[in-house]
Structure 1
Amino acid sequence: MTEKYGKNHPKVVAMKNAVTKWMVESLHPFTLVEEPGLLKVLEIADSRISLPSAKTFSRTLVPELFEKTVAKMKCILESEKPTLQALSITTDMWTSVNTTSYLAVTVHYVTKDFALTSYCLGCKAVMESHTGEVIRRELRNILTEWGLLGTKVLYCVTDNAANMRSAVTLMPDITQLFCFAHTLNLMIKDTKKEYSGFDKMRHKCKSIVEHFRHSAIARANLHKRLKQLGMRELELVQNVETRWNSEYLMMERLCELKDALVIELSQPGCRIDNLTSMEWGLVDSYVKVLKPIYEATLQVSSDKKPTRSMIIPILFGIESRIKTVIENKQQGSTLAKTLLKSLRSRFPMYMEDQLNLICMFLDPRFKFHILEEPQKKIILQKLETEIFASIKEVPVGRLEESAIKNITTSATSQLFSIFENSSCQRIQTNKRTLELQGKLQLEAYTNEPRITINDDPFQWWQDNRFKYELISPLAQKYLGIPATEVASERVFSSAGNVITNRRTRLLPENAETLVFLHQNLKSLDV
């Protein structure tokens, strides 16, 4: 019999660490290490290696990895805090299949090198009623644990629920922002409530989809019909009540497969009601009018690019598209009128939202592209004020160097000739000089050509951060603010794969640990 390695042998330690990470990254249960299949693989790879029990992984190895990960994250956050301009968090509540409620909190910021960074700070079980005070207390505890309260400008993105509104209102050191995607969803709900016959049509659509998804014979006949008609053999999309996008995708797919569906639903023995011609028209109108909103929700759910800067351009584009449909009396104009009314109700005066206007201006994809002169002046004045307030914190040496460069290249008036001489003598860095430099940088940035919508704004700022060193801290501050709470929803997607019907007895503290590790390990070298 082959002698086993000791528990501290390098190969055993390496294997334990690898299996622990694999377990949390791939959301495997602790009992994975007792599966005969895995044990057989290990025996073939090296029969001298033996893994600890599932209990050892759950009580020792995973908690140890958790502590290392927390320490690593705290070290990173502490080292980056001095150069950060602002922090943003998202938060939301979720109830698992075993009826335990969890509060997710994620943090987002842009580093001095313009890397968009985010972490999951926690997915904590909440055993009390979800009142605003309880949520406030839990949220404050999490932020305090990570040392994030009272250090930087702090924004918090939540949904529109009353308890979330109340919780953040009770925290005066945090600026509350509402999830853009959630408000878009509410806008669509408003529209559907006012549109006659929509609920009946949607119910029939769901019944059609369920019929073909639950009946193997019906599905096979549909695919046969698609092939006969020379159409792509696509599957129908099922609606998920909590996700508006899934309803849109369901109806979009029904429109794509309409010809084959109409034939199959008219076959003898089919007990599912087909849509009337008027209902098919409503489905088509729904897809056509709401497509820009569907595309918008995808854009603002990105975790790679700025998203709050997109809110005004997106709303402007949606409103313009809706008006075109109405003015040209295109198909769906009745639905478009209802949607326009809802948009103006949910997003009143959106073109005057100063935070979103600043974010848009600092995004080199947009700047002042759709703004009128009065709005431009307001934003520039606001940014000048912020620049003047922060000038004293900028290193003098770099300011002098760029002041010479900006003034000699940007100024044409003789007024500034006194700042030049043949030897480029040191400029006296008084407040007036620096304020002038800030104005010149804002003017130069405004006149820079916009980059394309597919370009990376963070890469642009990384390349130009020294050229616009008085503006770049503002870009770092504002471009990291999320438009949505999608990051928290992603945490719950992971949590739903951890706490399943087969793992309902998983302790809340173990669930918290597993979700935290799953969300953060991919971006940390632990």
Structure 2
Amino acid sequence: MLPKVFNDVKKHVSGLLRDVSAVSFTTDIWSSSVCPMSLLSLNVQWIDDNFTLRHATLQAKPFQGSHTSKAIADTFDGMLQTWCIPKTSVHVVLRDNTKNMIKGMNDAGLPSLPCATHTLQLVVHEGLLSQRSVADALAIGRKIIGHFKHSPLAYSCLEDIQLEIGQPAKRLQQDVQTRWNSTFYMIQSLLEQKRALGVFVSKHELPENLTAHQWALLEKVVTVLGPFEELTRKVSSSEAMAADLIPAVTVLQRFLSRETDDDHGIKTMKGTLAAAVRRRFSDVEEQPLYSIATLLDPRYKNLFFSNTNTAANAKEMLMRELLRSSREEENHDLHEPPARKPRRDQASSSLDSIFDEIADEQAPVSLNRAKVGSTAQLETYLGETTISREDKPLQYWAVNKVRFPTLAKMASRYLSAPCSSVDSERLFSSVSHIVNDDRNRITADHAEMILFIKKNLPLILPKST
């Protein structure tokens, strides 16, 4: 029955994509650890006529041979032809930072952007985790956790100690060095169990132990990396957009440059990370795909650019796109709804107050009447107050697409771009449940079919109430 279900689901997904004018993709390459199989993913997302963000998995294409840029480009061309998607409809492809993937997208003639979470990974490793004192403390922490991981008796003793001192029985968390935020969670788990570990050491031996200086260093590392972890979670969500990146970088840079009373002993760390952020994200405001998306997000508009020049350049980029798309829209004589002050909830994190601070510094004066041409639409839109960051930008455009038809059409294209390629990574987590030790002889085509059905069958099933 699987081939029949596959064809039914594929037909439905093709129907959903039939009249879509702009789509964005995420892609990644996965290689199995249990058999000689590699897959190249193609996840798509787009905004429908109701300004609802839609997702689908199109392919996890068997990818044989060397992973060269030419092979990537050829495979991508084949996948787009299979789905009858012209390259002119491809808004952007989110991919990792490897050279073969970058060149592969260029060879295929497709606009692409690096995954924001991968870039944050490089920033943290380059700016902080590569420091010798931090690396040494982390190495000892890994040895401590490894000791408990490989000794059930030691873990049992630790759990008894946790209960004795009134702490919940909780396991230490091992990190994965390719995921910097897992290192952050590992440090947090060590700090949470610092007292229990101290009692354990007084009764039992560990392969190594952290010194008082190293414990203090890890506490400072958690303080510095907290905002990075928060932003990583936000840009990795399924609703994150490319529009979120410029505001995130601006807020992060201000956080790192701000001196507080808690900075004693971590100023160098913050300075090192700030330099890494500037270097890795140096051209983010020059990328039209980021700049225009930020302007078209009613939560941000032109408030979160680093200076007035980059904001003006972004506005020019958008104006050129608008004029290219349509010279003039039909006249509309609609009353403008009254401007309202965005709701401000109490700051829930260390970065929320900085977002609000930047927005207040550059709050525009509202205009009273909506105009009609592309230029007038843009001026009116930018002149209005931004919506709250808790509000949904796509819901804003669903309500205002009649007032700003040309802008809305542009927003449906630029806001379709995700912020990271995490969707493809999540896809490959599902593949590992299909291609495993018990099914290591399954063919790549069959694995792709099962994965396609698993990911897309919910699109045709009735929603449960």
- TM score, norm. by length of structure 2: 0.86
Which of 129, 143, 156 is residue 93 of structure 2 equivalent to? 156
1:206 maps to 142
Paired residues for 1:166-185 under 5 Å: 166-172=103-109, 174-185=110-121
* Conserved 8 A contact 2:38-2:63: yes
Higher alpha-carbon Rg: 1
- Structure 1 position 70 matched with structure 2 position 10: yes
Which of 504, 508, 526 is residue 440 of structure 2 equivalent to? 504
The letter for the 1-side match of 2:334 is K
Which of 432, 436, 440 is residue 376 of structure 2 equivalent to? 440
> Which 5+ residue runs of structure 1 have no aligned equivalent?
1-60, 411-433
2:387 maps to 451
> Which 5+ residue runs of structure 2 have no aligned equivalent?
340-369
The letter for the 1-side match of 2:439 is R
The letter for the 1-side match of 2:173 is V
* Conserved 8 A contact 1:406-1:437: no
In structure 2, do the counterparts of structure 1 residues 199 and 380 end up closer, same or farther at CA, with 3 Å as the change threshold? closer
Which piece of structure 1 moves more, 446-455 or 247-256? Answer: 446-455
2:355 maps to none
Which of 503, 515, 520 is residue 456 of structure 2 equivalent to? 520
* Conserved 8 A contact 1:201-1:275: yes
What do residues 420-456 of structure 1 show as CA deviations (whole Å, max 9, x unaligned)? Answer: xxxxxxxxxxxxxx99632332222223332222221
Structure 1 residue 192, shift from structure 2 partner: 4.1
Work out the CA distance in 2 between the residues paired with 1:193 and 1:289.
12
Give the match's secondary structure for 2:461: coil
1:13 maps to none
In structure 2, do the counterparts of structure 1 residues 135 and 382 end up closer, same or farther at CA, with 3 Å as the change threshold? closer
Paired residues for 1:343-358 under 5 Å: 343-358=277-292
* Conserved 8 A contact 2:91-2:414: no
Which piece of structure 1 moves more, 373-382 or 117-126? Answer: 373-382
Which of 276, 280, 289 is residue 215 of structure 2 equivalent to? 280
1:340 maps to 274
Give the match's secondary structure for 2:454: helix
* Conserved 8 A contact 1:326-1:333: no
* Conserved 8 A contact 2:147-2:206: no
Paired residues for 1:77-116 under 5 Å: 77-78=17-18, 80-81=19-20, 84=21, 86-96=22-32, 97-116=34-53
Work out the CA distance in 1 between the residues paired with 2:311 and 2:64.
49
* Conserved 8 A contact 2:334-2:403: no
What do residues 345-366 of structure 1 show as CA deviations (whole Å, max 9, x unaligned)? Answer: 2111434444322211211221
The letter for the 2-side match of 1:318 is L
- Structure 1 position 312 matched with structure 2 position 246: yes
1:135 maps to 72
Q: Percent same amino acid at aligned positions?
A: 28
Work out the CA distance in 1 between the residues paired with 2:130 and 2:143.
22
Which of 312, 325, 328 is residue 390 of structure 1 equivalent to? 325
2:348 maps to none
Give the match's secondary structure for 1:471: helix
* Conserved 8 A contact 1:91-1:104: yes
- TM score, norm. by length of structure 1: 0.76
Paired residues for 1:467-506 under 5 Å: 467-506=403-442
What do residues 381-420 of structure 1 show as CA deviations (whole Å, max 9, x unaligned)? Answer: 33233223323696xxxx23x1x3379x99xxxxxxxxxx
* Conserved 8 A contact 1:326-1:337: no
2:367 maps to none
Work out the CA distance in 2 between the residues paired with 1:326 and 1:498.
50
The letter for the 2-side match of 1:148 is I
1:297 maps to 232
Aligned CA RMSD, in angstroms, stands at 2.4
Work out the CA distance in 2 between the residues paired with 1:103 and 1:143.
13
Which piece of structure 1 moves more, 469-478 or 369-378? Answer: 369-378
* Conserved 8 A contact 1:157-1:177: yes
Work out the CA distance in 2 between the residues paired with 1:206 and 1:160.
27
What do residues 220-262 of structure 1 show as CA deviations (whole Å, max 9, x unaligned)? Answer: 3222322333334332112123322211111111112211112
1:21 maps to none
Give the match's secondary structure for 1:380: helix
What do residues 446-482 of structure 1 show as CA deviations (whole Å, max 9, x unaligned)? Answer: 2333222222111121122112212111111111111
* Conserved 8 A contact 2:371-2:377: no
Work out the CA distance in 1 between the residues paired with 2:458 and 2:241.
22
In structure 2, do the counterparts of structure 1 residues 159 and 185 end up closer, same or farther at CA, with 3 Å as the change threshold? same
Give the match's secondary structure for 2:40: strand
Which of 160, 170, 192 is residue 256 of structure 1 equivalent to? 192
Work out the CA distance in 1 between the residues paired with 2:130 and 2:175.
21
Structure 1 residue 325, shift from structure 2 partner: 4.7
Work out the CA distance in 2 between the residues paired with 1:473 and 1:168.
25
Give the match's secondary structure for 2:132: coil
What do residues 159-200 of structure 1 show as CA deviations (whole Å, max 9, x unaligned)? Answer: 01111012111112x112111111111111212464123332
Give aligned pairs, total.
429
* Conserved 8 A contact 1:311-1:356: yes
Structure 1 residue 289, shift from structure 2 partner: 0.7
In structure 2, do the counterparts of structure 1 residues 325 and 513 end up closer, same or farther at CA, with 3 Å as the change threshold? farther
* Conserved 8 A contact 2:328-2:373: no
The letter for the 2-side match of 1:338 is T
Provide runs of 4+ in structure 1 moved above 6 Å: none
